[in-house]
C-alpha cells in the first residue's frame, strides 16, 4: 500500500500534520496512531500504514508532546553500525541488559556506515519515535560527523573510551598496554604493530598504549600499519614487515588482524612462536582454537555497553560524550607468544 502526502480535507495546504491527519491518511483511528507513537504493539498491517502516513506527511511531534512522551517513554534507541563484528555485538548485549534491568527496552536502528544518505536520515528516524534517549554504539569519527547528533530531541550518549594523547600517562593503564608488557617481559625488544583504521578512537588509543609502553621500557618500534579491522587486512599488513629490523613481536590491534597475520606466517613457513610471537586484542572465544592458540586481551565489552546506558539514564539535558572510564581487559597468555626468536628472514 502506498500513501501520498496531501493536505487534509478542509485544511489549508502546508498545515502541519497531526495524529488526526496521519490517522486519516492511514485509514486507522487516532488512538492507533497514538499507540504507534508510544511504541505499543500494533497489527503489522496497521503499523505499516501508519509508518507510511507519517513519512508521507512528514509528521513531526511538537516540542511539548515530545517532552511529555519522553518522560513516559521506556524505550532507548541504539544506533548500531557494525553489528556483525564481535566487539559491537558484545557492547550491544551489555547495553540491552542494562536497559532491561532499568525497566527499558532497547530499540536498535542498524545504519549502513557506507551509506551517507542512511546516516544523515538516521537522526530523523529516531526523532519520529518516542524515546527516553539514544545511545551510539562503536562509531567512527566520520560516522559521528555525518550523524549530526545535536539534531536529536532527546539526551544521547556515545559509547567511547577516553581520548588518550601522546602525553597522557593513562595510556599505560589501557588494557592494550598489558599485552605489550607481556611480550617485553618475555624478552622481546623489537616490535611491529598491525593497526586498524585510525578513524576509530579505539584504534588510536591502542596505538598510543603500544607506543608509550615501548617508550617507557626503552624498546624499539620497528614499524606500524593501519587499515581495516578484518583478517584480510592483517594478512595484507604482513607485506610491510620490516625484514631489515627483524622484529620478533607482532602486536595486532585485534584478534581478527592477528588471525590474518598468522595465516600469512604459516603460508611463508614462519614458526610461531619460535621465529616470531603474535598477539591479538578483543578476547574472541575462537582465539583459543587458532593455530597456535592466540595470546590476547579479553576485553569486557558488555561492561562498556552497560556503562553507556547507565550514563544516558543519569544524563540531564542535552547529549554528549560522558566519561565512561577506561576499558577493562584481562591478559590471556597462550602458545602464540614465547621467548624471542630470530624474526622473519628476508625473502
Cα separation, 207 vs 346, in Å, equals: 26
Under 8 Å between Cβ of 85 and 229: yes
Helix (H) or strand (E) holding 91: helix 86-101
- pTM of this structure: 0.77
Question: Would you tell me which CATH number, out of the four given (3.60.15.10, 3.30.300.20, 3.40.50.2300, 3.40.1360.10), belongs to the domain 70-159?
Answer: 3.40.50.2300
Tell me, what's the pLDDT at 47? 84
Q: Where are the domains of the chain?
A: 19-61, 70-159, 169-302
Burial category of 318 from C-beta neighbours within 10 Å (exposed 0-12, middle 13-18, buried 19 and up): exposed
Phi, psi of 39 (to 5 degrees): 85, 15
Q: What is the CATH topology of the domain spanning 19-61? A: 434 Repressor (Amino-terminal Domain) (1.10.260)
Alpha-carbon 342 to chain mean position: 37
- Report phi then psi at 108, rounded to 5: -95, 130
SS3 letters across 171-197:
HHHCHHHHHHHHHHHCCCCEEEEECCC
Q: Whole-angstrom Cα distance, residue 301 to residue 322?
A: 17
> In CATH terms, are 70-159 and 169-302 the same topology?
yes
pLDDT along the chain (347 residues), means of 10: 37 58 84 72 83 82 43 81 84 93 90 86 86 90 90 89 91 97 98 96 96 97 96 97 97 98 97 98 96 97 93 65 80 98 88
- Nearest residue to 133 via CA among 310, 326, 327, 324: 310
Give CA–CA dist 287/255, Å, rounded. 7
Could you tell me the fold of the domain covering 169-302? Rossmann fold (3.40.50)
The confidence score (pLDDT) of residue 90 equals: 94
Torsion angle, alpha carbons of 203, 207, 213, 214, to 10: 150
Amino acid at each position: 500500500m502506498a500513501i501520498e502526502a496531501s493536505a487534509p480535507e478542509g485544511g489549508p495546504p502546508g498545515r502541519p500534520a497531526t495524529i488526526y491527519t496521519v490517522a486519516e491518511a492511514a485509514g486507522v483511528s487516532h488512538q492507533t496512531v497514538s499507540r504507534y507513537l508510544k511504541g505499543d504493539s500494533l497489527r503489522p498491517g496497521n503499523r505499516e500504514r501508519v509508518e507510511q502516513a507519517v513519512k508521507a506527511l512528514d509528521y513531526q511531534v511538537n516540542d511539548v508532546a515530545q517532552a511529555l512522551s519522553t518522560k513516559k517513554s521506556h524505550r532507548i534507541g541504539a544506533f548500531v553500525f557494525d553489528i556483525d563484528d564481535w566487539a559491537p555485538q558484545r557492547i550491544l548485549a551489555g547495553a540491552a541488559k542494562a536497559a532491561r534491568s532499568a525497566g527499558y527496552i532497547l530499540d536498535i536502528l542498524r545504519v549502513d556506515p557506507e551509506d551517507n544518505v542512511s546516516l544523515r536520515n538516521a537522526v530523523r528516524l529516531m526523532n519520529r519515535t518516542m524515546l527516553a534517549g539514544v545511545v551510539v554504539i562503536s562509531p567512527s569519527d566520520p560516522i559521528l560527523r555525518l550523524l549530526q547528533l545535536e539534531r536529536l530531541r532527546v539526551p544521547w550518549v556515545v559509547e567511547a573510551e577516553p581520548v588518550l594523547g601522546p602525553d597522557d600517562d593513562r595510556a599505560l593503564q589501557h588494557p592494550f598496554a598489558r599485552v605489550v608488557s607481556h611480550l617485553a617481559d618475555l624478552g622481546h625488544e623489537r616490535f611491529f604493530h598491525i593497526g586498524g583504521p585510525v578513524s576509530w578512537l579505539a584504534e588510536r588509543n591502542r596505538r598510543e598504549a603500544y607506543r608509550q609502553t615501548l617508550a617507557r621500557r626503552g624498546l624499539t618500534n620497528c614499524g606500524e600499519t593501519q587499515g581495516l579491522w578484518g583478517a584480510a587486512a592483517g594478512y595484507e599488513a604482513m607485506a610491510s614487515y620490516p625484514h631489515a629490523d627483524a622484529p620478533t613481536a607482532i602486536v595486532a590491534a585485534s584478534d581478527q588482524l592477528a588471525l590474518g597475520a598468522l595465516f600469512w606466517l604459516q603460508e611463508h613457513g614462519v614458526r610461531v612462536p619460535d621465529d616470531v610471537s603474535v598477539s591479538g586484542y578483543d578476547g574472541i572465544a575462537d582465539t583459543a582454537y587458532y593455530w597456535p592458540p592466540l595470546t590476547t586481551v579479553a576485553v569486557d565489552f558488555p561492561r562498556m555497553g552497560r556503562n553507556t546506558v547507565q550514563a544516558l539514564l543519569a544524563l540531564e539535558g542535552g547529549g554528549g560524550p560522558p566519561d565512561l572510564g577506561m576499558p577493562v581487559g584481562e591478559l590471556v597468555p597462550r602458545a602464540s607468544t614465547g621467548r624471542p626468536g630470530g624474526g622473519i628472514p628476508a625473502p
